[in-house]
């Protein structure tokens, strides 16, 4: 038996700090390091752990509550033997900035300002505050703004830290009403195969292959290629500043589209009984992927992760769990007979040389992802796969509108050479 889990998220932001405050935050992070090191030192000396917080707080130039949070983290590391790093060096011998941990409304505060931005105030040192506004991904800002205005959400501890010399704030939030059903407690598993210009979804239940949907988004690929080419040109001309501006435009465009696609994935999945949405774990993908060039790899990378992430958190807001599987062979394996077809990588049509099975190759991959998801997390059997439903296709257009579903009887047809498919509008 399994319990539903409370919805907890860690939201990451960059800190846009008011002038001359940045060094104050950095100093506080150095102080946090010495609190951490001192805690480990005292614990190793055999001091009673209950006495450590007060002892350390007396000397620390930090807000008391913040000191206590850092001490608790250090003792937690002691408990779990994390105090040794990968090279067997005790981590308390390290120096440099260490995350400043704080409780909401004690060590830090957040509020919506008149411009609609989230303003922060971190008590870096006693009576010394670091102020500014948060920058970051729309998705994270959205959640945080919702959390600030809704009783359903609780804002928890934060960590202020320096990452590649940039100040960041990682905020924990919990939704107190919404819970996410345990993934093992699912009756439908939806396999998601994310590609550069589409995403394929197949829903499997214990009894049947329920349905397949392919959502095309050629504009995302098109825009990314366009900006990539423009960037190259700008780089060749040696104008790095324009490069950044272009990156921002592209990112906003792609992000906006991916949000819409991810919403669509969640809505589609919710029509089934107790769904669980399954993705390929991209951390494992680097090795198994064989796109031809470095450029291809760069072009592919961002939307994969972002789409999975957006879908995953939107799903959790609906109480729908997500799961992750190893992507190995998901696009090469024949769903019918299990034969692995190495030669078929770049075509939209899958042809099995062993059992003659033919299919839309991305649909085949989504079936394989769902099958892996069932085997990994469900206690029911994979249904018979010998009767796959027709592939339904929708296209996300630049306006954001979705065409009425079109049934593609032969999905290889209408595949335009430049990768933009001619689905009738």
| Residues within the interface to Zn ion (CB under 5 A) | 334, 336-337, 339, 352, 354-355, 357
Q: Which of 74, 334 has the CB closer to Zn ion?
A: 334
Closest separation in Å from C-beta 337 to Zn ion = 3
The backbone region for 253, taken as left when phi is positive above 0, alpha when psi lies in -120 to 50, beta otherwise, is alpha
The answer for residues whose C-beta is within 8 angstroms of residue 373's C-beta and 6 or more apart is 189, 191, 276, 278, 323, 325
Closest separation in Å from C-beta 309 to Zn ion = 33
Q: Phi, psi at residue 191, to the nearest 5°?
A: -85, 130
Q: Which of 76, 338 has the CB closer to Zn ion?
A: 338
CB-CB neighbours of 59 under 10 Å: 11
State the virtual CA torsion across 80, 81, 82, 83 in degrees, nearest 10: 130
Closest separation in Å from C-beta 338 to Zn ion = 7
Closest separation in Å from C-beta 364 to Zn ion = 10
Q: Which of 235, 354 has the CB closer to Zn ion?
A: 354
Q: Which of 260, 351 has the CB closer to Zn ion?
A: 351
Q: Which of 355, 398 has the CB closer to Zn ion?
A: 355
Closest separation in Å from C-beta 341 to Zn ion = 8
Beta bridge partners of 6: 179
Closest by alpha carbon to 196, among 176, 175, 179, 220?
220
Closest separation in Å from C-beta 262 to Zn ion = 32
How do 209-216 and 391-395 pair as beta strands? parallel
Q: Which of 339, 349 has the CB closer to Zn ion?
A: 339
Residue with tokens 């941990």: 101
Closest separation in Å from C-beta 357 to Zn ion = 4
Closest by alpha carbon to 53, among 44, 160, 43, 45?
43
Residue 170 host element (H or E): strand 166-180
Q: Which of 25, 336 has the CB closer to Zn ion?
A: 336
The stretches of 46-162 forming alpha helices (DSSP H) are 52-59, 64-79, 138-149
């Amino acid at each position: 038996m399994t319990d539903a889990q409370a919805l907890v998220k860690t939201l990451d932001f960059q800190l846009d700090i008011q002038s001359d405050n940045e060094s104050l935050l950095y100093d506080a992070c150095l102080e946090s390091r010495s609190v951490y090191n001192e805690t480990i030192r005292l614990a190793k000396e055999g001091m009673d752990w209950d006495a450590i917080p007060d002892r350390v707080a007396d000397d620390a130039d930090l807000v008391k509550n913040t000191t206590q949070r850092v001490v608790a983290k250090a003792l937690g590391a002691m408990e779990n033997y994390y105090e040794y790093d990968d090279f067997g060096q005790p981590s308390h011998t390290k120096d440099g900035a260490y995350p400043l941990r704080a409780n909401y409304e004690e060590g830090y505060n957040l509020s919506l300002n008149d411009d609609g931005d989230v303003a922060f105030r971190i008590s870096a040192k006693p009576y010394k505050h670091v102020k500014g506004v948060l920058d970051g991904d729309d998705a994270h800002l959205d959640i945080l703004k919702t959390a600030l205005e809704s009783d359903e959400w609780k804002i928890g501890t934060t960590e202020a830290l320096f990452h590649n010399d940039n100040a960041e704030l990682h905020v924990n939030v919990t939704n107190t009403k919404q819970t996410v059903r345990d993934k093992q407690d699912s009756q439908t598993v939806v396999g998601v195969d994310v590609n550069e210009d589409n995403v394929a979804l197949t829903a499997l239940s214990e009894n049947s292959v329920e349905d397949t949907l392919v959502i095309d988004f050629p504009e995302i690929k098109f825009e990314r290629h366009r900006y990539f080419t423009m960037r190259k040109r700008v780089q060749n001309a040696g104008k790095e500043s324009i490069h950044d501006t272009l990156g921002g435009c592209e990112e906003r465009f792609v992000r906006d589209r991916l949000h819409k696609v991810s919403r669509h994935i969640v809505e589609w999945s919710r029509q089934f009984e107790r769904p669980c949405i399954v993705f390929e774990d991209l951390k494992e993908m680097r090795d198994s992927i064989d796109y031809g060039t470095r450029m291809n790899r760069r072009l592919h990378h961002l939307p994969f992760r972002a789409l999975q992430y957006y879908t995953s958190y939107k799903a959790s807001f609906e109480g729908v769990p997500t799961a992750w599987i190893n992507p190995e062979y998901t696009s090469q394996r024949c769903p019918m007979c299990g034969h692995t077809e190495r030669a078929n990588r770049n075509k939209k049509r899958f042809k099995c040389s062993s059992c003659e099975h033919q299919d839309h190759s991305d649909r085949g991959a989504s079936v394989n992802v769902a099958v892996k998801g069932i085997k990994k997390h469900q206690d029911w059997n994979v249904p018979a796969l010998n009767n796959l439903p027709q592939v339904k296709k929708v296209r996300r257009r630049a306006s954001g509108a979705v065409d009425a579903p079109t049934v593609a009887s032969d999905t290889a047809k209408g595949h335009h050479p430049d990768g933009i498919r001619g689905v009738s509008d």
